Structure 1
């Protein structure tokens, strides 16, 4: 038994855990199903990797126990993430809303930080490893297959960091959820999150005609509100604001879109009437939207009418359409297109201070498989780094 712990999953959480364990003089082995580590890191942000967010707190996360991550975030802060990556040559360039991307580097460089450190500290990463079984006795025994051979590893501690269900083609599996269920741990219902929403039925053609149009909006439901771009597609809605609200949306619910969040269309009309009431409504709207989008609004608005001639009812209709545009999505694009998974292993099953299972001593769960889901913009990576660090202190 040469290892202090076996880590199943060499994604963000598993890699950080291995490196931090190495700093403490602990030896671990990582088993990764894919042919290389960090598969999801490599595709994040279009290969640029938004690796944390300057504004990350526990408030940007969805969980059945929203206070659960406070302990982990005290132990490993955003500043810790920034300092860690800067130590190894990754400096952050801030983009929209506090998102940090590697300045002049990319996702490959982020993964290389971990693989290089693992190599230096003799933390073994075994890729192409399919875990066949895990047995718990006095120690943990993991049987896996790699390169056509079946092998066995033993260690006193086990870390499950296999991620969630999104993007099956990247190797995503339900291993963590199955393992947890098998050992009596409760699972909070899972669903795709940070995922595009679909529109079907009578409204489908209207949305499809706008495919490619992007509009800065405020998107709201009874749980949350986000101001960012939405993107119209041939099957529905995407873009940052839609991905954000999708994590709070349930099938059958409406969402409301303010198509002009930084202005009041009634005030704009009053001002324009005083200036020149002889312009058409379409001319006014073209100041804010593409011509194609304005034309599409003609389904709801009298675009050819002069703004001086708009009736009270038409003014009210304009306000409703621009500031309270109601959409009822049919569904979402599923795990193939989702960035993360909502739900997962119930946080009540884990110690918030160590992330150790209360029912399985010596077994730890971190990253996306836990019922902790962050907003779009580097938050989920911050949770992965923090949970990996916390677990490393205790294995």
Structure 2
């Protein structure tokens, strides 16, 4: 697609970023008869969509409310999520041939299990609605100009300056650099005098170092259903031991709420009481060794690893009250002090971003800079694992389009 942009009065907006939010914004603007230009630094749009869910794309969650989002203003996402609901997402994709199938915890995937089908919906609609897409285009800067904004770009080894009355910054966050992630949206917000809340990797594996590292390494590959919590939140899903520490859905979830220096706690048998289970087994077979019994509840490898902490060489009948307390505390309140995270390149999203106090919750327009909009991941709205971040991206793209 090409266009002569020396006079851009025929474009209602330039959208910076061809991800979930930017693509939605272009399509929804097209439905309203508005013309947009998407500028994307990668060689194709939808890079994060294509790798999400292992290439299957968990594109929404049936249980979405504002409560599954982390933000300094917990109510900020309410307006956008009410203007574009989960039902709207489902209906939109069904209209263009994407049937959803629910997996665990309300997660919705295409029945084809192909993320590229999601991206194709948008690229086809952009073509049909005459929305322009320029890939391999780096945006250098955005500035105010007469009647709107100027956008300095580098494309095909030459620099150009484009003009538009409105600008949408949907350039994503800091994860993942190989997919084109950058701090562009945050830099532009600061340039225009908008506050940015502190960012950190989220939905990211946690690392263990020091004297405990080897203990975790020996369990690499072991996965189990657990409850993981801190003093702010709790999640029940699988955890995965790795050679660097801990991962798996429950760990990714808690990572968004973890701060350096804090502990997290793991209930290795959620919904059960280990002391009651041992008491019942002791009555039936008191001579059974604790190690053998634990091997019936966990993998043998994990049970053997617990020998560092529990009297596994005793039989059940000989366990003292103190032994039972130690077992109970370890199984139901396994204490972990992570050293850190695997960083932005292993994170699915980030917390923090453009301060929500700087934006209208109804339009996502910057209060101080009329015509400048921020959507998607660069805003201080971070969803849980399981399709919530896509729902925010679709919703924020829709809301912005209504106000271009």
**TM-score (norm. length: structure 2):** 0.97
- Please name the residue that 1:140 is paired with: 149
- Please name the residue that 1:314 is paired with: 323
CA contact (8 A) 2:141 2:188 kept: no
The alpha-carbon deviation at position 149 of structure 1 amounts to 2.1
- Please name the residue that 2:3 is paired with: none
What does residue range 203-222 of structure 1 map to in structure 2 within 5 Å? 203-222=212-231
**TM-score (norm. length: structure 1):** 0.99
Does the alignment pair 1:282 with 2:291? yes
- Please name the residue that 1:229 is paired with: 238
CA contact (8 A) 1:48 1:105 kept: yes
Identify the match of residue 361 of structure 1 among 370, 382, 394: 370
Does the alignment pair 1:167 with 2:214? no
Matched residue SS, 1:275 = helix
Matched residue SS, 2:212 = helix
User: Quick one: distance in 2 between partners of 1:24 and 1:382?
Assistant: 21
User: Quick one: distance in 2 between partners of 1:99 and 1:154?
Assistant: 40
- Please name the residue that 2:27 is paired with: 19
User: Quick one: distance in 1 between partners of 2:264 and 2:182?
Assistant: 31
The alpha-carbon deviation at position 370 of structure 1 amounts to 0.2
- Please name the residue that 2:133 is paired with: 125
Q: 1:171-223: per-residue Cα shift (whole Å, max 9, x none)?
A: 00000000001111011100000000000011000001000000111001011
- Please name the residue that 2:5 is paired with: none
- Please name the residue that 1:266 is paired with: 275
The alpha-carbon deviation at position 341 of structure 1 amounts to 0.7
User: Bigger shift: 17-26 or 128-137?
Assistant: 128-137
The alpha-carbon deviation at position 64 of structure 1 amounts to 0.1
Matched residue SS, 2:296 = coil
CA contact (8 A) 1:90 1:105 kept: no
- Please name the residue that 2:341 is paired with: 332
CA contact (8 A) 1:165 1:335 kept: yes
The alpha-carbon deviation at position 283 of structure 1 amounts to 1.6
CA contact (8 A) 2:71 2:381 kept: yes
- Please name the residue that 1:342 is paired with: 351
What does residue range 281-300 of structure 1 map to in structure 2 within 5 Å? 281-300=290-309
User: Quick one: distance in 2 between partners of 1:310 and 1:341?
Assistant: 46
Does the alignment pair 1:41 with 2:49? yes
- Please name the residue that 2:89 is paired with: 81
Matched residue SS, 1:355 = coil
Q: Which runs of 4+ in 1 moved over 6 A?
A: none
User: Quick one: distance in 1 between partners of 2:45 and 2:155?
Assistant: 15
Matched residue SS, 2:352 = strand
Q: 1:36-87: per-residue Cα shift (whole Å, max 9, x none)?
A: 0000000100100000000010000000000001110110000000000011
Does the alignment pair 1:184 with 2:193? yes
User: Quick one: distance in 1 between partners of 2:230 and 2:340?
Assistant: 15
User: Quick one: distance in 2 between partners of 1:135 and 1:186?
Assistant: 17
CA contact (8 A) 2:55 2:113 kept: no
Matched residue SS, 2:307 = helix
Aligned residues: 395
User: Quick one: distance in 2 between partners of 1:225 and 1:112?
Assistant: 37
The alpha-carbon deviation at position 336 of structure 1 amounts to 0.7
- Cα 1:256–1:105 change in 2 (3 A) is closer
User: Quick one: distance in 2 between partners of 1:355 and 1:135?
Assistant: 19
What does residue range 84-95 of structure 1 map to in structure 2 within 5 Å? 84-95=92-103
The alpha-carbon deviation at position 359 of structure 1 amounts to 1.2
CA contact (8 A) 2:142 2:151 kept: yes
Matched residue SS, 2:297 = coil
Identify the match of residue 207 of structure 2 among 198, 220, 234: 198
What does residue range 33-72 of structure 1 map to in structure 2 within 5 Å? 33-72=41-80
CA contact (8 A) 1:53 1:98 kept: yes
The alpha-carbon deviation at position 154 of structure 1 amounts to 1.3
Matched residue SS, 1:49 = coil
- Please name the residue that 1:6 is paired with: 14
Runs (5+) with no aligned partner, structure 1: none
Runs (5+) with no aligned partner, structure 2: 1-7
